Amino acid sequence: MIRPRHKPLPKGVYHSFVRSLYENRATLLIGMISHAVTFLLVYTRVNDPFFLIATFAVIAIFLVRMVDMRGFDRIDLSGADDVTLRLWEDRYLLGGLCVTMTCGVACAYAVVVTHDAFAELACISVTVASMISIVGRNYGSSRAVAILTAGACGPIFFGLLSLGDFYMSVLAALMIPLVITTWQMAKGVREFLYRNVIAATEIATIADRFDTALNNMTHGLFMLDAQGRVLVANRRATDLLNLDWTAGLKDSHLEVVLKYGMRHSFLDGDQVRQVLRQLAPLLEGLETRTLVPFPDDFYLEFSASRRPDGGTVLIFEDVSARILAERKILNMVRYDALTGLPTRAYFSELVEATIGQGDPDRPVGFLIMDVVDFKHVNDMRGHIVGDQVLVVVAERLRALAGEGAAVGRLMGDEFVVLFADETDRAALDGRMRSLHQQMRGTYTVNGFTFLLTMSAGSVMTAAGTFSFEDVQIKADLALFESKNRNRGGFTAFEETMDEQYVDRQKLKADFQQALEASALAVVYQPMMTPDGLRIECCEALARWTHPERGPVGPAVFIRVAEEMGLVGDVTAFVLRRACTDCLDWPDEMAVSVNLSVADLRNPGFAAKVVQILEETGLPARRLHLEVTEGGFIEDPVKVGTMLQELRARGVSIAIDDFGTGYSSLSYLDTLPLDLVKVDRSFVRNIREDARRFNLLRGVVQLSRELGLRVIVEGVETADQLDLLRSHHCADLIQGYVFARPMPASEVLKLAFVAESKRAIAARKSAPA
């Protein structure tokens, strides 16, 4: 057996060569018949029993070898080791050697003993023919060729030499090149076949690996020739197209393949043609990638690369999950998750697409609405119910707006509607006003019934000049006017609103500069005992004098501060100034500062108050903080905790504008209060309106039973003061009847005057 130097023969190759020895058994039968017939002919010619024995010998050897070969067929050599293979190689060599030795001995016997020309020629001819077959049958084993050739030629060589004849000796010597040539021929054939077996093995291995890789790809693959016929298709391709793996895809046109898939899966004739139209640019090399939709939300993404021979490698994958996820994400971006209405960004896209169609001179209506006091719904029933209310509102708005209108949700409780299908401005205005009116009414959610109204702002413009950003700003201005002037009303945009908006923006900028420059002023309105002889406290009130506009009312700039988120800074400024000014007043006088809702929502506000008291040096007992009922609604527990912390440090807490909110009486019991400021609405017309006066007295009595001191504000006339005095309705009086708001320096003068009056009154009441 040929074995490359320093490198053992691969097991698979050795196995193939050994198996080749046991193949082509028909040649053995032919050889056996040739040998037997030849020896029988020689026997009949020379009548020598030796040749009859040789005849029976070759027949017997053949039968034994056939039995051995049948045994070879019955065993499984796929996992056999080299030792087992070598054993079968040796068994073959033994049988072959017996045959060639029989032939060689017969030749030598004919030459040396019989001296018959026919016997010599016949025996040598059949032996030489056997040597030729050795190359064809035994190329797989170098030992077989060498041994069998030697077995045939050896007896002849020695037989010729034994004759002692010069010419016969030369003839014997010439047999050596014959043996070598035979061996070299077999070696050449063996090496050639060895290289081919190795190459075939490597090709088979590569092909197997390629087939394994191809059929384990996550992508489908079609390799097409220049005419669009399938050369290679992997298993994933057939799975994705619902093709039978055993179908005859090779050399089938792609169109036929898709039609075959059509019969077994999801495509009809039109859809097949549509798919082919989408794939055509890829097959023509015009594009490299395309997405092909199939029924039932099934998507395949195809990519193609051209081959030098004009063919195409078509790779495709199932991207349905990705497309559906992208669609879901896009839907989440485009549509509000709560109401299902388009978000502001997507609504803007829809509007631009709608406006671009039709007559550019037609009127377009833009309407913004928000729910009046929607925060109260969240506060009273919770955000879950509040969200459900918004869902119901959105459903009603979508139904009432109709198919010709686009409806969206901007944010919170703000909704927007676009009307672009009207031709008459008056009709369009009436339609928007009618929608606003129809949105007013009762809404039932989770067993709760809410009476809701909507504030609305509208703007009309021509389709050709429509700009979403510009129109929204104008509609917002109109909505702002509705909220300020007529909550729950409908306001159409007017050009003056734009000017007012610009003016307000300038006012905001000026106010911020004033606050940063500490240009605000603080005035104080005294709270005096009913007899007017002592000032116990002064309420600090912020004032702003604009360098161009003059005095700006607190209602204006406080609202501006709230819109800008600066109301907390205003409170801090007033608090610091009030504490500083109070230090110049008599020790028995305190100062009172109003807190906003933003202050009560600020978790760090209590620490801020303590910091200012420490920095100014004002004792905490000389500071009163006034809170309105609106500051408690959102989170009464949290606000109560913060106020309790301040009260524990000595700060007095007063509830301002008492009686104007929703749950006043409950606050008196649950909050850490020291004083109650009765709203001025209780004082108005108390002389003429007995019912109002009785209500005032009830509030005073209830407060005192709870241990709270009572401050009545808004007392403007001596008549009101006398009535309050006569019924002991107040511990402190605040109002124009005693003093208007004044600078801190004037408070000292008024305190001196009050002290003088108190001293005179004390002398008059003293015993003579």
Residues 115 and 180 in one domain: yes
Highest mean pLDDT pick, 174-188, 324-338, 433-447? 433-447
Task: Among 102-106, 194-198, 552-556, 737-741, name the one with the lowest average pLDDT.
Answer: 194-198
The residue written with tokens 């697409």 in the block is 353
Residues 6+ apart with CB under 8 A from 651: 609, 620, 621, 623, 624, 625
pLDDT of residue 646: 92
Gyration radius (Cα) of the chain, Å: 57
Domain contains 429: yes
Specify if 672 maps to a domain.
yes
- Which pLDDT does position 7 carry in this prediction? 45
Last residue of a domain, one of 459, 493, 527: 493
What is the reported pLDDT for 139? 59
One domain for residues 131 and 169: yes
Which band of pLDDT confidence, cut at 50, 70 and 90, is reported for residue 262? Answer: very low
Range with top average pLDDT, 35-39, 344-348, 455-459: 455-459
Band (768; pLDDT cuts 50, 70, 90): low
Same domain for 555 and 681, yes or no, is: yes
Tell me the per-residue pLDDT of 614-662, one tens digit each, with 9 for 90 and over. Answer: 999 999 999 999 988 766 666 677 888 888 999 999 999 998 877 665 5
Residue 3's pLDDT band (boundaries 50, 70, 90)? very low
What is the C-alpha to C-alpha distance for residues 606 and 672, in angstroms, rounded to an integer? 14
User: Where does the pLDDT of residue 731 fall: very low under 50, low under 70, confident under 90, or very high at 90 and above?
Assistant: very high
Q: What are phi and psi of 528, to 5 degrees?
A: -115, 160
**At 2, is the pLDDT very low, low, confident or very high (cuts 50, 70, 90)?**
very low
The answer, yes or no, to whether residue 581 has pLDDT greater than 50, is: yes
Do 376 and 389 meet the contact criterion of CB atoms below 8 Å apart? no
pLDDT interval class at 42 (50, 70, 90): confident
If one counts the domains in the chain, the total is 4
> Tokens 């109109």 appear where?
478
Question: What is the distance between the alpha carbons of residues 668 and 676, in angstroms, rounded to a whole number?
Answer: 8
Residues 244 and 200 in one domain: no
Confidence at residue 298, expressed as pLDDT on a 0 to 100 scale: 82
Coil, helix or strand at residue 526:
strand
User: Is the model more confident about 144 or about 374?
Assistant: 374
- The answer to whether residues 199 and 263 belong to one domain is no
Could you tell me the CATH number of the domain that includes residue 476? 3.30.70.270
Q: Do both 517 and 439 map to the same domain?
A: no
User: DSSP readout, 169-184?
Assistant: HHHHHTHHHHHHHHHH
- Cβ of 316: how many Cβ atoms within 10 Å? 23
- pLDDT of residue 593 exceeding 80, the answer is yes
Same domain membership, residue 182 and residue 103: yes
**CATH code for position 579:** 3.20.20.450
Residue 728: CB atoms within 10 Å:
13
The helix/strand/coil state of 382 is coil
Q: Do 200 and 309 share a domain, yes or no? A: no
Q: Which pLDDT band holds residue 583 (cuts at 50, 70, 90)?
A: very high
User: Same structural domain for residues 72 and 189?
Assistant: yes
Averaged pLDDT for residues 84-105: 82
pLDDT reading at 260 higher than 70: no
Average pLDDT, the chain: 82
Q: Do 661 and 679 meet the contact criterion of CB atoms below 8 Å apart?
A: no
Per the structure, the complete domain to which residue 369 belongs is given by 337-493
Does residue 358 belong to any structural domain of this protein? yes
Six-digit token pair at 386? 């509040």
Relative orientation angle of helices 117-138 and 82-109, to the nearest 10 degrees: 170
How far are the Cα atoms of 75, 96, 303, 724 from residue 64, in angstroms, in the given order? 18, 11, 65, 143
User: What is the bridge-based pairing of β-strands 732-734 and 709-713?
Assistant: parallel
| pLDDT class of 153 with cuts at 50, 70, 90 | confident
Residues 460 and 436 in one domain: yes
Q: Is the pTM of this model over 0.95?
A: no
Kind of pairing between the strands at 220-224 and 312-318: antiparallel
CB-CB contact of 260 with 247 (8 Å):
yes
| Across 314-341, average pLDDT | 84
Single-letter code of the amino acid located at 95: G
| 476 C-beta neighbours (distance < 10 Å), count | 18
Q: Name the DSSP letter for residue 587.
A: T
Pick the last residue of a domain from 463, 493, 523: 493
CATH number of the domain enclosing 266: 3.30.450.20
pLDDT band at 740 (very low <50, low <70, confident <90, very high): very high
- pLDDT mean over 317-342: 84
- Indicate the SS3 state at residue 701: helix
Answer yes or no: is 534 within a domain.
yes
In a domain, 499, yes or no: no
Handedness of CA 497, 500, 506, 507 (dihedral sign): negative
- The tokens of 672 are what? 């850490």
Mean pLDDT score, 595-612: 89
- Rounded to an integer, the average pLDDT of 356-385 is 84
Average pLDDT over residues 11-33: 74
Q: Is residue 652, in this structure, part of any structural domain at all?
A: yes
Residue scoring higher pLDDT (463 or 133): 463
SS3 content of the chain, % helix, strand, coil (to 5): 60, 15, 25
Q: What are the tens digits of pLDDT across the range 160-178?
A: 788 887 887 888 788 778 7
Query: Which of 277, 293, 324 delimits the end of a domain?
Result: 324
- Tally DSSP H helices, then E strands, for the chain: 28, 21
If pLDDT is split at 50, 70 and 90, which confidence band does 608 have?
Answer: very high
Claim to verify: residue 518 and residue 577 sit in the same structural domain: yes
CB 537 within 8 A of CB 624: yes
- Angle at CA of residue 137, ends 134 and 138, nearest 5°: 70
Which residues, other chains included, contact 631 with Cβ-Cβ below 8 Å and sequence gap of 6+? 595, 596, 597, 599, 600, 639
HSE, side-chain direction, 13 A CA sphere, residue 266: 12
Q: Is the pLDDT of residue 300 over 50?
A: yes
Distances (CA, A) of 673 to 608, 656, 706, 718: 20, 11, 10, 29
Using DSSP's 3-state secondary structure scheme, residue 584 falls into: coil
Is the predicted pLDDT of residue 229 greater than 80, yes or no?
Answer: yes
Same domain, 223 and 297: yes
Q: Does residue 4 form part of some domain? A: no
Position 559 pLDDT exceeds 80? yes
pLDDT in tens, 500-557: 777 778 888 888 888 888 889 999 999 999 988 899 999 999 999 988 888 988 888 8
- The Cα 333–Cα 346 span in angstroms is 8
Nearest to 346 by CA among 432, 412, 407: 407
Question: What pLDDT is attached to residue 528?
Answer: 92
Higher pLDDT, 299 or 146: 299
Query: Is there a domain that residue 768 lies in?
Result: no
